[in-house]
Amino acid sequence: MSGLRAAGFPERAVRARARAGTAEVFPEAGTYGAELYGAQAPGGPGTPEAAGAPDAPDALDALRIAPPVFMPRRLEKLIELGREPSYEDVDLHTAVGGFAAELPLYLSAFGSTRAGSGDLGVAAGRQAARLGIPMVIGENMVPVHGYRRGDGAARSALLARVAAYAETVADGVGGVVVQQSTEDADSEVWNLLYSDPGTRPLRDSGRLGFELKVGQGAKPGLGGMTVVGAAEAERLAGQFAVRDLLGDPGRRLRCATPGTFTEEIVRQQLRFMRNNFPLARTWVKFHPGRDIAHAAATAWAAGADAVTVDGAEGGTGWAPRVFLEQVGLPLGETLRRIGRPDGDLLATGRIWEGGRAVRALALGATAVGLGRAALLAVDEDRQAGLVRLVEALALETRLLVSALGKYRAADLGPEDLWSPDLPVPAPPLPVGGLS
């Protein structure tokens, strides 16, 4: 039946699976480390949106930023300054998860994956430090690359990133936050960092934090996945599940466990973090699950300094296509479900310019994270690519906040956004009442 055709059905995809089997579940193995994933907009498999166009709009992008006509806060600012205010008067300094920051921004977690040429995380950390924003270091750094202090031997990948940031950041701003997954906990990552003399200046100045990783935007419910060569697969087989599923004899799929979490386990973990690492900030990262509002409230009530949420747009080094295209809530819906947050809410998922950042801030985020965009910017220019990207984002943010008649990012709110799905408020009565 070689001439069989299936009209209206994804025939090519089915035939590819019939030829390659499990290899078709994932992006092409040869692209690992050279491409970034997770930017697909909602739409389902086979749709143009799910085909990977990073610019495809989603519900957050569809919201319009809607300035009012009357701006009482602008009048207040005019009186305070004794002149007409401008966008340059918008103050973007804020506290991000317990750290002072120059902008409502942070560098999202880069884990053990070394996308591009070399470890872009070191250059990204150095530039984030120049900007005075916190940096998050992702999972599995120690299980994969080891932990070596800088005394006489080359620093490990984790400590190289920490050092690049710590040696560049100005006093009083920023901070380094290190994630811990199940495998990281087995390697005692937090204990190693907290007791390391090299990290003591960050710790003692209140600029070291630990993030409990519960989930990730691009692959909710899964642990980290990485493509490794045969030799590395053999070395890591005792710590991770390593499987031959990619259809390439030179490459293996390394899978971390997602961890098991309940309300009580999250409470206990946060209690453990506060008791054992009292000088470190405590963050929790959740994937965009349907119960995200309850999860975030649980973490804040248990004392978390920040809750990080990835939308389904959140990037990743590697994930099955079905997760990239079909699983998890978009960032806009994630923020809508959380509503007015009970603490610092940090949001990431296809953030790269001021409009999307302002929308997320108006929906309740304290700060937004740069992940994929930061990697691309650093890959473009190791010395200043991220700095320039953030300068552009900050300018757009100041212009937009000023246009809304406000002068702090914290003053943004849902009233600053419009959607055709939202009811139009009734107009006020004319001045002087009804005629």
Is the Cβ–Cβ distance between 247 and 29 less than 8 Å?
Answer: yes
Cα separation, 413 vs 335, whole angstroms = 12
Alpha carbons 141 and 137: distance in angstroms, whole number: 8
**C-alpha to C-alpha distance for 97 and 111, rounded to whole angstroms:** 20
Quick one: CA dihedral 235, 237, 241, 242, positive or negative? positive
Q: How far apart are the first and last CA of the chain?
A: 80
Alpha-carbon gap, residue 222 to 289, rounded angstroms: 12
Residue 26 DSSP SS3: coil
Q: Domains in the chain and their CATH numbers?
A: 59-418 (3.20.20.70)
| Continuous segment of H or E residues that includes residue 325 | helix 321-326
**pLDDT in the model for residue 53:** 38
Which long-range contacts (C-beta less than 8 Å, at least 24 apart) are formed by 227-230? 227/29, 227/32, 227/33, 227/251, 227/252, 227/253, 227/254, 227/318, 228/252, 228/253, 228/254
Residue 370 in tokens: 């740069």
- Strand-pair partners of 282: 210
Check residue 320 and give left, alpha or beta (phi > 0: left; psi -120 to 50: alpha).
beta
Helix (H, G, I), strand (E, B) or coil at 396: helix
The answer to whether 104 touches 367, Cβ cutoff 8 Å, is yes
CA atoms within 13 A on the CB side of 122: 13
Q: Which two tokens stand for residue 149?
A: 């202090």
CB 191 within 8 A of CB 184: no
Angle 311-317-319 from CA coordinates, rounded to 5°: 70
- pLDDT of 183: 82
Are 56 and 66 within 8 A, CB to CB? no
Q: Give the DSSP H or E segment for 306.
A: strand 306-310
Amino acid found at 26: F
pLDDT at 255: 81
Residues 393 and 379: their CA atoms lie apart, in Å, by 18
Tell me the average confidence (pLDDT) per consecutive run of 10 residues in the chain, 435 residues long. 68 82 84 66 39 57 96 97 98 97 94 60 95 93 77 76 95 95 87 94 97 87 82 80 84 84 96 97 96 97 96 78 88 95 95 96 97 91 95 96 97 94 62 48
Q: How far apart are CA 102 and CA 132, in angstroms?
A: 5
C-alpha span between 263 and 342 (Å, rounded): 17
pTM for this prediction: 0.87
Three-state SS string over 126-185 comes to HHHHHHCCCEEECCCHHHHHCCCCCCCCCCCHHHHHHHHHHCCCCCCCCCEEEEECHHHH
- The H or E element spanning position 346 is strand 345-348
